[in-house]
Structure 1
Amino acid sequence: MASAPVIDITQETAVSSAKDIAWTGKVHSYRPKGDWRTRVDAGINFHDDAIAELDPVDFEVIRQKLWTINMAHGDTITRISGSPVLATLDFNMSILTEDAEVVLNAPYVQFLNAGAPLGIRYILEHYSKLPGIDDGDIYCCNDPWIAACHQMDVLFAAPIFVEGRLFGWVANAGHQYDLGGIVPGGWPQNSEDVHSDPVVLPPFKLVEKGVMRPDLEAMYLRQSRLPDMVALDLRAQIAGVVFARDQVMALCTRFGATTVKAAMRRMLDQAQQNFQRKLNAIPDGTWTETRYIDEPLPGIRHNQRTQLTVTKRGDRLAVSNAGTDAQTIGTNGIPFVTWAGSITGIVSVSMLFEQLFAYGGGERQIDYEPTPGLLTCVDHPAAVSGGILHSVPMMNAMQAILARMMACDPDTKEDLVAPCADYVLPVLVGFDDRGNFFGQAILDCFACGSGARSFGDGIDSGGPTFSPLSMILNVEQIEQWYPLMCLYRRSDRDSGGAGKWRGGNGLRVAITPYRAQSMSIVTNTGGQGATTQNGQGLFGGYPSPASHYLIRHDTDLNERMVARVLPQGAIDLTGDTVWLSGKSNGTSLGHGDVFEVRIGGGGGYGDPLERDPALVERDLADDAVSQDAAERIYGVIAGDAEATTARRKALRAERRAWSRQETDTAAATAATGELDRAVHEYVIARDVDGERILACAHCGERLAGYSGSYKAGALMHEGPVTQIPSAPDPARFIDDPMVLRRFACPGCLTQIATEIARAEDAVFPEMRLGLN
């Protein structure tokens, strides 16, 4: 392994111009051309017939039955799999049309099966003649430049044939624990390129006409440190697609294939039309979100920038990664399929949930405009397996953008949610007391705090927005499978972002080795989850603080246990303290040592000084917020209404001393004659003196022209990230100075925005209404 500090992260790959891009899956990711079906073998007979008139009762029965099939597909996997990873529902599945349009996605990890349409179209385009696509076949793929989010999220896809014609597909993608690579578990943070990652397998036919090929299964299992577990997971995922395929075929027998196909097409059309309706209710404009990613390799104390830009024009979205840093060696990159899945996944849970996640219809309205060779669309041979957690800050970026867009319409504003926590993922590896190798990912981040809403608090340990059904394992299960003891798993005070509505708090979890010959910790973290922030705040709400990994060596735990006194926190124990960075590849954990991971909370919503003092006092009583946060951020003096009023008045007055921004340079927009329109929790668009402007919704103060940045007319305070309650100092692990910026209306002094940025970076525009 190369010494991390000598890596030159300035060795960037060249970014191709648009005319040179060959989206073949070789260097750049696979993206099928518009005429891809012309390269499908003529021997494939597509079933694309549908009845013209569909009975509404038949439609609803078929629609609900397809949903039930998809959900039972997930149940089938968990019933057969013996993996603790799949037991947490770290998978997703879908039902697709004959040409791989997603009819139904399931409410598990949203982005995980985003590669199904790409992988199936790749199979149709490249393998429809040899080795062919037949009834009973199942293809497998974990190639990130074709269909997998990373190598461990393995795709299984089965065609559905009805009367000899290709009717549709079913597919799933699930995280298989170990498929090789230089670090157990499949998240190697020290990979300089893909050749140190787990094995990459382009699509291949693992099951042929209903029979698994033993030669290919042996090849597949040979890569793993835990072949028995992987063999069981392999069969679980195969069983899932077999079950779903057979159930769809039975549905066709019951109602007729042309009736079922008509229902599938209506589901897609309804989702498209519903998405169009929601988009048309939002003003045209461009929204951007910037997030940073720490440590290209362990020990490199710098971060890299990503930017997501969404332009809404009419009923269409154009999505770009322009402004993102070029890929380098290391593990900060994700492929196109993960980036695109981060977008569709958030659209599904935010705007298509009532359409049963039929995101194929919604995706018809999205134009992806990625530049390859950037960190959010990396080219081969970038290391991608260890970078999979960076999909979460990308989803959180889309969550923030979509929330800001949805705030422009009263109907969709009720559905918006602030981003949840970024993902922290410790992996334990070693040998138990019988000499057996073990590996366990602690997936407790599936109990992170959810983001606040426009009308209420986030849910403590509510889980990530992007995975509605994922869960954490019972402690007893983990202790039964692995040589460890869980000391506590408890709610974490101040881990949610402050706001008018508070982000949900996360957890603190601690374990110690128990009957282990050896144990070490591998840490993996998305974005800046271990240095700077977790969930981004919305409309003046605070971001949630960073998480942490902490080891206490040579503690007095045994003495406490003998005295029957369990520790309430790892920091309370005696012993030496080691803080682990977001990326590390093996720190020993010995007898009597304690490891604690802090799971983050969700972002806050709105100015904290607008929070009902009674809610703050309730939070104090529940130990959900600290007294410091109550007084310093919320301005609440418990039990003293007069002192609270005075404290809040003083905190607002402090904002008057914040600095003025430069005058907005956007060209003036003529008055439109429209009524006042909310475009933000605290910003309205209105006509004033012949001009369309952005003004404070509370006091009417002019902030910018209609096409300008509302932050330009705001007061701004720039300070350390540690102003966030319970936030650590990012300088522990990164050298790039990070700051928290807060923006307030100059008139009424309402806090209208927050952002975290490198000190050297300009203020983020966030929203520009109107189009050039």
Structure 2
Amino acid sequence: MENHNVRVSEVDAVTLQVLQGQLSAAAEEMQITLLKSSYSSIVTESQDATSAIFDKHGATVAQAVAIPIHLGVLAELGKRFAASFPEGVARPGDVYVMNDPYAGGTHLPDLAVASPVFAGGELVAYVVTMTHHQDVGGSVPGSTAIKVFDHFAEGLRIPMCKLYDGGERNEALFAMMLSNTRTPSNMRGDLNAQISGCMTGAGRVVEMFEKWGAPVVNAAMQQLLDYAEKLTRLEIERIPDGQYHFTDYLDDDGSSPDAEPLPVVCCMTVKGSSLHFDFTGTADQVSTAINNVPYSAVSAVYYVVRTLTGDQAPNNDGGYRPVTCHMPEGSLINPRFPAPINARAVSLRRVVDVVLGVMAQAIPERMPAANCGQSSLIHVGTTRSATGERVVATVGGPWMGGMGARPGKDGVDVTDHDASNVFHLSVEVSEAELPIQFKTVQLWTDSGGAGKYRGGLGYHCEFTWLEGEGMATVRRDRHKFAPWGLDGGLPGPHCRTVLQPSDGDELPLMSKVQLVLKPGDTLKLWTTGSGGHGDPRERELDRVLDDVIDGKVSEEAAESLYGVHIDRTSIEGSSAQQLRPRRVANAG
């Protein structure tokens, strides 16, 4: 641009598209830097981290394709960073840090690191990275205890403050953070990776402002926000006006075997191009740590709304402007301080299911059946006998079960989907970090809900603890309430968790539990798949045959659920012609 000082009211379409691409590329490069330079396997392998760029007012203008569960949180954090460190307060070389869930965060393990961006001596933007840190103190390794007295018992709580001031590190704060984790090497490495990600993003944003000029880039940012809003409103206008309701349940709060189920209730009101989500009727806050702060719970809403526009819309805050939410104070998704919240992923999954479910009442042709509704997170802490080093790691996680069957397509087996979108931690990495040995990891036959389109399968795994003692925190659900099907599709099965002690009989466990693993103990998990879509007896015969041959559906289920009898002498000799459908007058 020849004159960077010219006032720009509107950027032409071609330039706007180029700048959108550059913003997105900068956010993605931040993410790659973060993932490649982090220390903990939960980041380097599972990729539980997110990067984003805010304008100078704190609005998210670009976010990496990473963790949808961070959408609402980053939208809130951007405004708070900009309010706490605005023009005149922020300085070049600053780095800010916070993790306070009651001040815009998610839960204590998620540390947000941000930096202001200056171009031509002016504050023009902020960049942020958010990483799940393996341990931030608290009563158990991994900092996600189910049973704690209150939020103060959950670990290190950091208000919004400066980690670097004008390029000088706050050594006292840094030392305090490292002294409040069981794994200081992990925290140091992951914090440095977050800072590196921010520096990468800041450099790319400065290049944009130097090339195009502040008037053009600032105008483009606002136009991209408006464009995302416009596309979202156009999609909402396709939804019939009215009120839609849906309810699903959590097994319990994990406090005791006879604890009551917890409803999550949503009423969605569609009016023109606006959506309102009212969660009145949702269970009250609980004494255990599965509560969700609203900034976290709203991410589930934003995720589902974001799916309406897909790849068409820029990944920014504009798409959330048409959305409002009411989350009753004192409820499971808007608890009063100091309710514990570090194990909040359990109930957050159910919020996702409920929002998908209420959306399916309005536009069933576009929504999937219920996903598995959980990630089987097992954080374990132990001490290496040889060195005395404290180790905190995640066993094989976060592993999720099946993805819900879709209108016109089967669900995906054992995948990290919906609001998580992370990667499985491999068996090999888990065995390298902890004294465990996996006995089996395999698809769980018949765990995908039957339907014209079958739900994705879940899995069965078993691992044995080999040495010393390990404090394990198990965060699961769907032991009592199965993932639901749609349009005649059947639900998936219930989950199971079993402990086989080295010196005793099998012990069925609650879905949420803390336990000490001893040498020879084996933990067995059956994680459900997902709901099916459509009448199972309308499924194509060849698909049923393929599922049986692949071991995804048993012959018994093929006959009882799909109305298909398989007659074969060998797998090689099987064919669709050897399938004989069994139908009765009232089948359905």
User: TM over 0.5, yes or no?
Assistant: yes
State the alpha-carbon separation in 2 of the partners of residues 121 and 486 from structure 1: 45
On the 8 A contact 1:150/1:388 being kept in 2, the answer is no
2:565 to 627, 634, 637: 637
1:450 to 375, 394, 403: 403
CA deviation string 1:358-400 (max 9, x = no partner): 2411111011222211111111011111223311111122122
Shift of 1:129: 8.7
On the 8 A contact 1:92/1:113 being kept in 2, the answer is no
Shift of 1:485: 2.0
- Match status 1:529 vs 2:486: no
On the 8 A contact 2:446/2:553 being kept in 1, the answer is yes
Alignment-derived partner of residue 121 in structure 1: 79
Q: Which residue identity lines up with residue 282 of structure 1 in the other structure?
A: I
Alignment-derived partner of residue 306 in structure 1: 264
Q: Which residue identity lines up with residue 121 of structure 1 in the other structure?
A: K
Q: Which residue identity lines up with residue 508 of structure 2 in the other structure?
A: W
- Match status 1:212 vs 2:169: yes
State the alpha-carbon separation in 2 of the partners of residues 332 and 394 from structure 1: 12
- The equivalences for 1:31-46 within 5 A come to none
Shift of 1:600: 2.9
State the alpha-carbon separation in 1 of the partners of residues 507 and 314 from structure 2: 44
On the 8 A contact 2:396/2:424 being kept in 1, the answer is yes
Alignment-derived partner of residue 451 in structure 2: 499
Instruction: Label 1:585 to 1:422 Cα distance change in 2 as closer, same or farther (>3 A).
Output: same
Q: Which residue identity lines up with residue 484 of structure 1 in the other structure?
A: I
Q: Which residue identity lines up with residue 590 of structure 1 in the other structure?
A: P
Shift of 1:182: 0.9
State the alpha-carbon separation in 2 of the partners of residues 611 and 161 from structure 1: 59
Shift of 1:646: 6.7
Shift of 1:325: 2.0
CA deviation string 1:378-432 (max 9, x = no partner): 110111112233111111221222344333xxxxx4x533332122212222223
- Match status 1:621 vs 2:549: yes
Q: % of aligned pairs identical? A: 25
State the alpha-carbon separation in 2 of the partners of residues 70 and 251 from structure 1: 13
Alignment-derived partner of residue 343 in structure 1: 301
The 3-state SS of whatever aligns with 1:112 is helix
State the alpha-carbon separation in 2 of the partners of residues 246 and 48 from structure 1: 21
- Match status 1:517 vs 2:468: yes
The 3-state SS of whatever aligns with 2:224 is helix
State the alpha-carbon separation in 2 of the partners of residues 308 and 202 from structure 1: 32
State the alpha-carbon separation in 2 of the partners of residues 49 and 169 from structure 1: 23
Q: Which residue identity lines up with residue 389 of structure 2 in the other structure?
A: N
State the alpha-carbon separation in 2 of the partners of residues 65 and 422 from structure 1: 35
Alignment-derived partner of residue 8 in structure 1: none
What is the TM-score with the length of structure 2 in the denominator?
A: 0.91
Q: Which residue identity lines up with residue 580 of structure 1 in the other structure?
A: L
Instruction: Label 1:48 to 1:588 Cα distance change in 2 as closer, same or farther (>3 A).
Output: farther
On the 8 A contact 1:112/1:174 being kept in 2, the answer is no
Alignment-derived partner of residue 14 in structure 2: 57
Instruction: Label 1:48 to 1:475 Cα distance change in 2 as closer, same or farther (>3 A).
Output: farther
Shift of 1:354: 1.2
1:92 to 50, 57, 65: 50
Alignment-derived partner of residue 572 in structure 2: none
The 3-state SS of whatever aligns with 1:339 is helix
Q: Would you say how many aligned residue pairs link Structure 1 and Structure 2?
A: 574
The 3-state SS of whatever aligns with 1:352 is helix
Instruction: Label 1:211 to 1:399 Cα distance change in 2 as closer, same or farther (>3 A).
Output: farther
Alignment-derived partner of residue 677 in structure 1: none
The 3-state SS of whatever aligns with 1:637 is strand
- Match status 1:465 vs 2:418: yes
On the 8 A contact 1:118/1:146 being kept in 2, the answer is no
Shift of 1:127: 5.2
- Match status 1:488 vs 2:445: no
The 3-state SS of whatever aligns with 2:286 is coil
On the 8 A contact 1:70/1:104 being kept in 2, the answer is yes
Larger Rg: 1
On the 8 A contact 2:267/2:277 being kept in 1, the answer is yes
State the alpha-carbon separation in 2 of the partners of residues 646 and 614 from structure 1: 11
Q: Which residue identity lines up with residue 97 of structure 1 in the other structure?
A: D
Alignment-derived partner of residue 25 in structure 2: 68
- Match status 1:648 vs 2:583: yes
Instruction: Label 1:485 to 1:287 Cα distance change in 2 as closer, same or farther (>3 A).
Output: same
- Match status 1:580 vs 2:509: yes
The 3-state SS of whatever aligns with 1:236 is helix
The 3-state SS of whatever aligns with 1:328 is coil
Instruction: Label 1:129 to 1:360 Cα distance change in 2 as closer, same or farther (>3 A).
Output: closer
Instruction: Label 1:129 to 1:94 Cα distance change in 2 as closer, same or farther (>3 A).
Output: closer
Alignment-derived partner of residue 322 in structure 1: 280
On the 8 A contact 1:49/1:261 being kept in 2, the answer is no
Alignment-derived partner of residue 602 in structure 1: 530
Instruction: Label 1:504 to 1:384 Cα distance change in 2 as closer, same or farther (>3 A).
Output: same
On the 8 A contact 1:100/1:169 being kept in 2, the answer is yes
State the alpha-carbon separation in 2 of the partners of residues 101 and 444 from structure 1: 32
The 3-state SS of whatever aligns with 2:101 is coil
Instruction: Label 1:311 to 1:147 Cα distance change in 2 as closer, same or farther (>3 A).
Output: same
State the alpha-carbon separation in 1 of the partners of residues 116 and 108 from structure 2: 22
Q: Which residue identity lines up with residue 519 of structure 2 in the other structure?
A: G
Shift of 1:86: 0.9
On the 8 A contact 1:634/1:648 being kept in 2, the answer is no
Shift of 1:224: 0.8
On the 8 A contact 2:381/2:392 being kept in 1, the answer is yes
Alignment-derived partner of residue 541 in structure 1: 489
Q: Which residue identity lines up with residue 504 of structure 1 in the other structure?
A: G
On the 8 A contact 1:91/1:173 being kept in 2, the answer is yes
Instruction: Label 1:184 to 1:496 Cα distance change in 2 as closer, same or farther (>3 A).
Output: same
Q: Which residue identity lines up with residue 373 of structure 2 in the other structure?
A: D
Q: Which residue identity lines up with residue 105 of structure 1 in the other structure?
A: Q
TM superposition outliers: structure 1 runs of 4+ over 6 Å: 47-50, 640-646
Shift of 1:643: 11
Q: Which residue identity lines up with residue 492 of structure 2 in the other structure?
A: S
5+ long unaligned stretches in structure 2: 569-575
Instruction: Label 1:113 to 1:465 Cα distance change in 2 as closer, same or farther (>3 A).
Output: closer
Shift of 1:256: 2.1
Deviates more, 1:620-629 or 1:158-167: 158-167
On the 8 A contact 1:519/1:590 being kept in 2, the answer is no
